[in-house]
Amino acid sequence: MTEYSKGGATDIENLTLACDACHAMIHDGPGGWKTVAMPADSEHAGRTGWIAPRHIDPTGMPQVNDRHHAGELMAASLARLRDRTHPPVRWWSRP
């Protein structure tokens, strides 16, 4: 993503959604976060990857924020719950 202030386009291919608090954290100064488009070979290809400042994550690895993908976060949570429980009892198979 190229910021508008640095010549970036304001079209859908160069934009991402962020709440006011997250948007304010993206800057070039000390403690600033960076954003990138996740690469094609990523599990989240094309999505926004957030790169934390070095004092938070020295590796500089971009991470996708699941809070912005509530449907997928819910599906993953439900899948984890199903894996921990017994197979569901169907109403038609009850004694």
Cα dihedral 41→44→49→54 (10° resolution): -70
Question: Which token pair is 7?
Answer: 């010549």
Per-residue b/e over 36-69, b at no fewer than 16 CB within 10 Å? Answer: ebbeeeeebeebbbbbbeeeeeeeeebebeeebe
- Are 49 and 64 in contact, with CB atoms under 8 Å apart? yes
Give pLDDT tens digits along the chain (95 positions): 677 777 888 887 777 777 788 888 888 888 999 988 889 999 888 888 999 999 999 999 999 887 767 788 788 888 888 877 656 555 555 45
